[in-house]
Amino acid sequence: MATVLADALEDVTVIELGDSIASAYASKLLADLGADVIKVEKPLGGDFSRRLGPFPNDDPHPEKSGLFLYLNTNKRSLTLDVETESGRRLLEQVAARAGVVIASAQSGTFEYESVLADLAARREMVIATITPFGRTGRDAGHRGQAANTAALGGICGYLGATGRPLLVPPLELGEYETGVNVAIAVLVCVLTESGNRIDISEADCWATVQNGMGVIEFIFGGRVFARMGRGVKSGPYPNTILKCKDGYMRLIAMQRAEWERFLQVMGNPEWANDPRFTDRVTMNEKYSDELDAHIEEWMKEREKDDIFELCQANAVPFAPIYTIEEVMQRPEWREWFVTVDHPEVPGTLQAGFPYSMTLTPPRVRRPAPRLGEHTTEILRSVGIETDAVASLRSQLIV
Amino acid sequence: MVDRSRTATRELVADFGVDGALSWLRVVDFGWAWAGATCGQVLADFGAEVIKVESRTRLDPMRQGRPLVGKDPDPEQNPICHNVNRNKFSFSVDLKHPEGPGLVRSLVAEADVVIENMTPGALARLGLAYEDLAAVNPQLIMVSLPAVTSEGPLARTRAYAPTVSGLSGLDSLVGYEGEEPLGFQQALPDPNVGLHAAVGVLAALRHRKLTGAGQYIQTSQLRAMLPLLGEAVAEYALTGRVPGTKGNQRRGYAPHGTYPAVGDDKWVTIAVSGDTEWRGLCRALGRPELVDDPRFADGYERSLNHAELDQEIAAWTRTRDGMELVETLQAHGVAAAPCLDTGERFLHAHFQDREAYVPVEHPVLGNEFIYGAPWKLRDSQPGVWKRVPLLGEDTDAILRRILGLSDAEVARLREASALQ
């Protein structure tokens, strides 16, 4: 008879330490799969994202920050001042019951390194640390934010228009990519039931699995890609973004047949017969402005969803650039969002889960915690009496 | 029921003297192009025996492209393929051949995980859908990761990572403040879905270990992008505002952006998140009076007056070397880093210390560098232990050693063109 588990990570306990999207997203992935994630927050003010918003009606409130509510759904909140000696001792007591610690810092040096070292020495635990540049290497001591790790990791070089400042990726994307890599390494250790120390660097994630494949071409051809605004003017035409009646379309055709079918969709226009427009690489390198203008002339009469439908019906892989509103309003994708009932912000739509699973689907078990909502129950579970919790609270240790 | 998955190292992996955290795991990997291949690469880096199922009759797009050496098309030269298919074994089989699907089913019967990102419905037409494969292997964990979706009217949508980037809303957020979208000019949806799929597979393996049950995981490039946009989703849900292009402005940071350094198109990034860092920046600039400038009094004012602030900073950075700027800023406690291109990253001392790029010997390209593992572990360090396989390089070994076929049977299949 098979055991039945509602969640894949039932009975995995994770302690989350540190103010970053990367640690919050890593532990969110685990919490959504059923792990009991205890988020440690500073007693005064709590997690950084409580102050960031976005807030309903732009009215700041520590329990209503959209970023906090999203990243911390399914977690419990424990307030604890780890900068005090008694705070650190309490953390050790709570962490002694957990299998996993996920900690982040803005540089390679951790203020609570001694706590992590004590935990690691006491029992077999999985301890993952997330830093901008890693725990080792020449620049390990450097401070960094998402913009800086994206820069070192090479992403900024692709973003922006020629002659203007490079752009950094929006929404701290690198923190999310780091978080998913942390979740991978932690899960391998949970699966093999082995304690371990994991060192993840946000810059490494950009420089390797996201963006590390160009090195071979650099060595062989010295080819270095530079930003080109809305398109890429190397390789076959088109690979760009063009304007239509109500927005923008993304055009890319890896196969010649896809381009030819698009010409048919446009009714085989006269200009396409120009002998200069034969080799698609030459077209892209030399004539893309001229070609862009021809296509925009056709597209300006048409709306993006009509072009999308027409292209797809003819196996042309062009697609609209949707705004966030349009993405959220497509009925076919509605199940990729979830509605979460938080006592302060009821019935809010959030980005959902990255995958579905037939037996143990990720799910919403509880809304994001209020600051310190679970402090008493968590401390009591490690044998601290209610009176003692009250005293700790008056000293602002919890 | 206790999980019956073996704990012994799989035989093809053992040949390489590898004993990784996942070396007991066998994966049948239909993952192709970039997205599908990344999921298997994650498992292979941790030592899993990942068998890439491919065919000369329908080449993986990542086996194609401009050759680096010589002029003729060569399936052994694609740089992305060398990165995302390292540590794997190649099994070439023609799935359109009458005996192809049967061979694959036999292989899946001996495996733990199947990964696929074919056009939705393609495997089902070959009798290789999850239901078909679970019938021969009830403990199987399978993951599908197409571009847009596996089901419904949009399952047939033709898309590549850049168009998925458009559909997801990400592209609408990249551009100069208030200007037209420039799009995210890097194929983020590809590696992103592969990584998320690996999380799902590992969680399902943990569940199987406790219950003995296999399951089916579904994601897509598009679906796996949406969790990254959670903040933008929240902004629309809570304020009704549609997020758009914001240049380099970010909630919670000011100043924040890229600033010119000496040289041709050289830039450094600076991100200031609080007053302590702001005072450090003023000292680094040699402009202590800016601390008391009412235009820049706090984060809110600095954000409001960012254009003037950015000019002040650029005036200082413009005449200085990027590396020097970063050292000066870091010495004053300011988060800063240079914007590197591919070559600079490869040669950068910090990335060399971190082994971000590791050398491998390849029969066609010779000595090459591919990216290393982003996960640094105290024990069972994952990494690169094998170059990308040549197309079909391991077919015979797989048929003989995993499926137990005789030399004569292998020869017959080859003769019958089933192994192309």
Cβ of B226 under 8 Å from any chain A Cβ?
Answer: yes
**Interface subset of B 340-359, CB within 8 angstroms of A:** 340-346, 348-351, 353-354, 356-357
pLDDT (tens digit, 9 = 90+) per residue, B276-291? Answer: 999 999 999 999 999 9
Please give the ipTM for the structure prediction: 0.97
**Where does residue A268 fall: left (phi above 0), alpha (psi -120 to 50 degrees), or beta otherwise?**
left
pLDDT above 90: residue A386: no
Radius of gyration of chain A (CA): 25
Please report which confidence band the pLDDT of residue B388 belongs to, taking 50, 70 and 90 as the band edges.
Answer: very high
User: Comparing A396 with A242, which gets the higher pLDDT?
Assistant: A242
Round to whole Å and give the CA distance between B350 and A133: 8
Lowest-confidence pick of A117-121, A178-182, A307-311: A117-121
Q: Which residues contact B216 (CB under 8 A, 6 or more apart)?
A: A357, A358, B130, B134, B141, B142, B143, B144
Cβ of B230 under 8 Å from any chain A Cβ?
Answer: yes
* pLDDT at residue number B1: 36
Please name which of A148, A320, A169 lies closest in space to residue B231, comparing C-alpha atoms. A169
- In the structure encoding, which two tokens stand for residue A321, read together? 């650039």
Burial class (CB in 10 A: 0-12, 13-18, 19+), B156: middle
pLDDT above 70: residue A122: yes
Q: Where are the beta strands (DSSP E) in B339-384?
A: 357-362, 366-371, 375-377
A-interface mutation test, from B199, B273, B326, most A Cβ less than 10 A away = B199
* pLDDT at residue number A231: 85
Q: Give the CA dihedral A145, A146, A150, A153, nearest 10 degrees.
A: 60
Residue pair B212/B2 in contact (Cβ under 8 Å)? The answer is yes
Which residues, listed in sequence order, are joined to residue A40 by a DSSP beta bridge? A78
**CB-CB under 8 Å, A351 with B226:** yes
Report, as an integer, the average pLDDT of A135-162.
95
The values of phi and psi at residue B210, to 5°, are: -85, -25
Cβ of B376 under 8 Å from any chain A Cβ?
Answer: yes
Please report which confidence band the pLDDT of residue A118 belongs to, taking 50, 70 and 90 as the band edges.
Answer: confident
* pLDDT at residue number A334: 92
Round to whole Å and give the CA distance between A325 and A347: 17
Report, as an integer, the average pLDDT of A163-190.
96
Interior/surface letters B24-45, b for 16+ CB within 10 angstroms, e for the rest:
bbbbbbbbbbbbbbbbbbbbbb
- The proportion of chain B whose per-residue pLDDT surpasses 70, expressed as a percent, equals 99
Round to whole Å and give the CA distance between A334 and B152: 13
B-interface mutation test, from A21, A106, A148, most B Cβ less than 10 A away = A148
* B159 interaction partners in chain A (CB closer than 8 Å): 317, 319
Please report which confidence band the pLDDT of residue A29 belongs to, taking 50, 70 and 90 as the band edges.
Answer: very high
Please report which confidence band the pLDDT of residue A284 belongs to, taking 50, 70 and 90 as the band edges.
Answer: very high
- In the structure encoding, which two tokens stand for residue B412, read together? 């017959």
- How far does A201 lie from chain B, in Å, by closest CA? 7
Task: Dihedral sign for Cα B386, B392, B397, B401, please.
Answer: positive
* pLDDT at residue number A112: 72
pLDDT (tens digit, 9 = 90+) per residue, A336-350? Answer: 999 999 999 999 999
* pLDDT at residue number A398: 85
Lowest-confidence pick of A126-135, A212-221, B321-330, B369-378: A212-221
Round to whole Å and give the CA distance between B169 and B226: 8
Whether the bond between A54 and the residue before it is cis, its omega within 30 degrees of 0, is yes
pLDDT above 60: residue B116: yes
Cβ of B5 under 8 Å from any chain A Cβ?
Answer: no
* pLDDT at residue number A123: 79
- In the structure encoding, which two tokens stand for residue A136, read together? 């080792």
Round to whole Å and give the CA distance between A276 and A283: 7
Q: How far is CA B268 from CA A210, B160, B307, B325, in A?
A: 21, 31, 17, 8
pLDDT above 90: residue A7: yes
pLDDT above 90: residue A215: no
Helices (H), B88-188: 100-109, 122-125, 130-136, 161-167
* pLDDT at residue number A180: 98
- The proportion of chain B whose per-residue pLDDT surpasses 90, expressed as a percent, equals 93
* pLDDT at residue number A97: 85
* pLDDT at residue number B290: 94
- In the structure encoding, which two tokens stand for residue A75, read together? 């977690």
- How far does B330 lie from chain A, in Å, by closest CA? 6
Mean pLDDT of chain B: 95
Please report which confidence band the pLDDT of residue B4 belongs to, taking 50, 70 and 90 as the band edges.
Answer: very low
Report, as an integer, the average pLDDT of B177-191.
94
Please name which of B235, B334, B213 lies closest in space to residue B284, comparing C-alpha atoms. B334
pLDDT (tens digit, 9 = 90+) per residue, B17-59? Answer: 999 999 999 999 999 999 999 999 999 999 999 999 999 999 9
Round to whole Å and give the CA distance between B418 and B420: 6
Report, as an integer, the average pLDDT of A272-277.
95
Cβ of B313 under 8 Å from any chain A Cβ?
Answer: no
Residue type at B51 in one-letter notation: I
Q: Which residues contact A390 (CB under 8 A, 6 or more apart)?
A: none
pLDDT above 60: residue A274: yes
* A194 interaction partners in chain B (CB closer than 8 Å): 21, 379-380
DSSP A209-259: IIT-THHHHHHHH-------TTS--SSSSPEEEEEETTEEEEEE-SSHHHH
Please report which confidence band the pLDDT of residue A120 belongs to, taking 50, 70 and 90 as the band edges.
Answer: confident
Which residues, listed in sequence order, are joined to residue A199 by a DSSP beta bridge? A129, B376
**CB-CB under 8 Å, B200 with A355:** yes
pLDDT above 80: residue A222: no
pLDDT above 50: residue B171: yes
Round to whole Å and give the CA distance between A35 and A25: 13
* pLDDT at residue number B6: 52
pLDDT above 60: residue A2: no
* A349 interaction partners in chain B (CB closer than 8 Å): 233, 237
B-interface mutation test, from A208, A225, A233, A329, most B Cβ less than 10 A away = A208
Burial class (CB in 10 A: 0-12, 13-18, 19+), B404: exposed
Cβ of B177 under 8 Å from any chain A Cβ?
Answer: no
Please report which confidence band the pLDDT of residue A223 belongs to, taking 50, 70 and 90 as the band edges.
Answer: low
Please report which confidence band the pLDDT of residue B147 belongs to, taking 50, 70 and 90 as the band edges.
Answer: very high
* pLDDT at residue number A3: 67
H-helix or E-strand spanning residue B228: none
Kind of pairing between the strands at A247-252 and A319-320: antiparallel
Round to whole Å and give the CA distance between B123 and B144: 10
Report, as an integer, the average pLDDT of B245-263.
95
- How far does A391 lie from chain B, in Å, by closest CA? 32
* pLDDT at residue number B67: 86
Report, as an integer, the average pLDDT of B94-117.
97
Q: Which residues contact A116 (CB under 8 A, 6 or more apart)?
A: A101, A103, A110, A127, A129
pLDDT above 60: residue A16: yes
